[in-house]
């Protein structure tokens, strides 16, 4: 380590979480000796420490238990197939892979699908929750709950996070008219909470939830800054939420198309890469309804995507469709918590972002759209076409049509914690100015001057401010985010090299903004 690194207290906490033990000194010295000895260096790497890779996943390496289990399952499946008859097995599979109503749930003509008649909202002692969507079929009951507000004052039970979660599934259930309880299978209601299916013909149930089924609650007066959030029992067990739900059979013709947007436009990309077997590239536009409230540089960004079929899944490329002749250059970021990939039946497909270095570079040959989001699925199961939907786009801009530079004179008697007011406005984004309101001196060291620049302006987040000329001296990093000093303000931290005349010249080199909307990309594997 040739340079000391400064971390914030939060980063140090994370560092402690991630830290791992130091290497065994015997190993370190043995490897050192090996590297110094040309004769041993010629051995294979594995021979360096006389240890081969432990690969419990390889057949022949002791046949791990899961392999035997898989083999047994296959044999059982084969036996069922032969005894029950192919038609019945196929029919069962078709039932299992039934259709889907986007935003609602599965559709299976044979599964007695029922959907929530209308959204339900209930308030209990200052807390409000709403059930907006729900369905039940022959396989499961799924309920989506939104948590709206919480003004409860609760007592701390002293529960730890794990204790808080333990047993929660036994407290959340559907109460049937005959007194039976269907306990939650996945009592996490940030998305869909899953329960067993409702019996045929039974359409009215009561969802029973304890107050702490959502998440932690505040202790003390919420208006008091000293109030802390913890895990607590806010209401007596007898005072749980009781939410009456009524299900109905969806009217004929109520099946919605996959995705909520206009039909995407198919772009004529060449369907051949080293890995791909079939590609369909589409674009999708945002619905403009939700965008007006947020000032943005590009009010209706378009997405372009591409699907590559791999041996064991799919690779999906997504980028911002840009006007390549425009002077504005976008880097493209996505709020990954607001996308979802699903198949034609509405089944959610897990996808994770992967690095560019982990994929065959040939996939980019016909996809030259700059920064690209890469999503990788681990399965090819699912009914085509696949739909990738976004509700939030986080867009970054690194180049501006005009200079975004400014001078600062901070004076010479600086103290840590000192706040220096400014009133410097920037309007290089026409119609959406933002103003530097304050410079806070975070730290004074011999190496640099740590400052936090506070801006006022709605809809932006400046993610990098560099000393000018850039990159000499190089930026030291920092953090950015929303702040509370001014209305609609944001801040960014950076480090400045001390100047003898107290004057600094800085440039906004990157900013970021969020666009709310709805985008859908349709892929045909």
Partner 1 sequence: MIQPVTQDVRSRVNQEENSVDESSLLRAACHNPAAFARLYDRYVHALYKYLLSKTGNVAEAEDLTSQTFLSALENLPAYRDQGNFRAWLFTIARNKWVDFCRKNSRLFSLDNKSPAAMQIDFLQEVIQGEKSQVLSDLVRKLRKNEVDLLRLRLVSELEFGEIAVVLGKSESAVKKTYYRLIERMKKDMEQIYG
Residue that is written with structure tokens 């800054």 in the block: 225
- Read out DSSP for 249-306? PPPTT-PPPSSSSSPPEEP------SS-S----EEEE--GGGTTTS--SSSS-EEEEE
- Nearer Cβ to partner 1, position 113 or 375? 375
Residues 488-507 that bind partner 1 (CB under 8 A): 491, 493
- Nearer Cβ to partner 1, position 64 or 295? 64
Distance set, CA 189 to CA 80, 101, 130, 296 (Å): 36, 20, 11, 32
Which segment (3-11, 206-214, 249-257, 498-506) binds partner 1 by CB under 8 A?
3-11
Q: Determine which residue in the list 93, 446, 484, 500 makes contact with partner 1, applying CB under 8 A.
A: 484
Q: Give yes or no for residue 237 binding partner 1 (CB under 8 A).
A: no
Q: Give yes or no for residue 345 binding partner 1 (CB under 8 A).
A: no
Q: Give yes or no for residue 472 binding partner 1 (CB under 8 A).
A: no
Helix (H/G/I), strand (E/B), else coil: 402: coil
Least Cβ distance, residue 464 to partner 1 (angstroms): 6
For the chain, give the longest Cα–Cα distance. 89
Q: Give yes or no for residue 18 binding partner 1 (CB under 8 A).
A: yes
Least Cβ distance, residue 234 to partner 1 (angstroms): 15
Residue that is written with structure tokens 């029992």 in the block: 233
Token pair recorded at residue 158: 């002293």
Binding-residue pattern over the window 99 to 138 for partner 1, x denoting contact by CB under 8 A: ----------------------------------------
Q: Find out whether 420 and 471 touch, Cβ atoms under 8 Å.
A: no
Which segment (52-60, 94-102, 247-255, 421-429) binds partner 1 by CB under 8 A?
52-60
Residue that is written with structure tokens 């047994």 in the block: 72
Q: Determine which residue in the list 276, 342, 464, 516 makes contact with partner 1, applying CB under 8 A.
A: 464
Binding-residue pattern over the window 427 to 456 for partner 1, x denoting contact by CB under 8 A: -------------x-xx-x----x-x-x--
Binding-residue pattern over the window 176 to 215 for partner 1, x denoting contact by CB under 8 A: ---------------------------------------x
Token pair recorded at residue 502: 């107290």
Q: Give yes or no for residue 24 binding partner 1 (CB under 8 A).
A: yes
Q: Give yes or no for residue 244 binding partner 1 (CB under 8 A).
A: no
Which positions ≥6 away from 156 have C-beta within 8 Å? Answer: 219, 230, 231, 232
Q: Find out whether 364 and 318 touch, Cβ atoms under 8 Å.
A: no
């Amino acid at each position: 380590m040739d340079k000391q690194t400064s971390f914030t207290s939060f980063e140090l906490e994370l560092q402690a979480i991630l830290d791992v033990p130091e290497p065994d000194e015997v190993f370190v010295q043995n490897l050192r000796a090996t590297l110094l000895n040309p004769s041993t260096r010629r051995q294979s790497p594995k021979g360096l420490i006389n240890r081969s890779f432990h690969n419990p996943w390889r057949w022949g390496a002791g046949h791990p238990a899961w392999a035997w289990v898989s083999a047994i399952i296959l044999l059982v499946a084969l036996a069922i197939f032969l005894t029950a008859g192919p038609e019945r097995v196929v029919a069962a599979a078709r039932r299992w892979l039934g259709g889907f109503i986007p935003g609602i749930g599965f559709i299976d003509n044979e599964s007695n699908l029922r959907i929530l008649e209308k959204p339900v909202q209930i308030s209990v002692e200052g807390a409000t929750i709403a059930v907006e969507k729900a369905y039940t079929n022959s396989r499961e009951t799924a309920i989506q709950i939104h948590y709206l507000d919480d003004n409860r004052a609760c007592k701390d039970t002293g529960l730890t996070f794990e204790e808080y979660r333990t047993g929660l599934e036994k407290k959340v259930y559907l109460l049937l008219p005959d007194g039976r309880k269907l306990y939650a299978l996945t009592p996490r209601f940030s998305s869909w909470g899953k329960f067993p299916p409702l019996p045929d013909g039974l359409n009215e149930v009561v969802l029973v939830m304890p107050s702490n089924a959502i998440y932690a609650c505040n202790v003390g007066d919420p208006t008091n800054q000293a109030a802390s959030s913890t895990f607590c029992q806010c209401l007596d067990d007898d005072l749980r939420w009781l939410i009456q739900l009524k299900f109905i059979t969806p009217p004929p013709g109520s099946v919605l198309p996959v995705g909520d947007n206009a039909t995407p436009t198919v772009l004529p990309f060449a369907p051949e890469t080293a890995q791909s077997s079939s590609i369909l590239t589409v674009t999708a536009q945002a619905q403009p309804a939700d965008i007006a409230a947020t000032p943005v540089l590009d009010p209706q960004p378009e997405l372009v995507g591409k699907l590559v079929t791999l041996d064991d899944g799919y690779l999906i490329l997504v980028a911002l469709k840009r006007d390549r002749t425009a002077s504005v250059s976008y880097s493209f970021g996505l709020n990954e918590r607001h996308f979802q990939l699903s198949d034609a039946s509405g089944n959610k497909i897990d996808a994770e972002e992967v690095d560019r270095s982990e994929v065959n570079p040939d996939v980019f040959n016909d996809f030259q759209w700059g920064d690209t989001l890469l999503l990788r699925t681990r399965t090819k199961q699912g009914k085509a076409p696949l739909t990738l939907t976004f509700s939030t786009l986080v867009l970054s801009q690194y180049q501006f049509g005009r200079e975004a530079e400014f001078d600062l004179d901070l004076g010479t008697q600086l103290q840590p914690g000192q706040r220096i007011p400014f009133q410097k406005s920037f309007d290089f984004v026409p119609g959406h100015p933002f103003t530097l309101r304050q410079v806070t001196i975070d730290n004074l060291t011999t190496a640099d001057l740590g400052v936090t620049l506070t801006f006022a302006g709605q809809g932006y987040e400046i993610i990098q401010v560099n000393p000018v000329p850039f990159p000499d001296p190089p930026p030291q990093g920092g953090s950015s985010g929303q702040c509370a000093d001014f209305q609609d303000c944001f801040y960014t931290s950076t480090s400045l090299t001390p100047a003898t005349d107290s004057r600094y010249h800085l440039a906004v080199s990157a900013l970021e903004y969020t666009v709310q909307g709805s985008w859908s990309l349709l892929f045909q594997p």
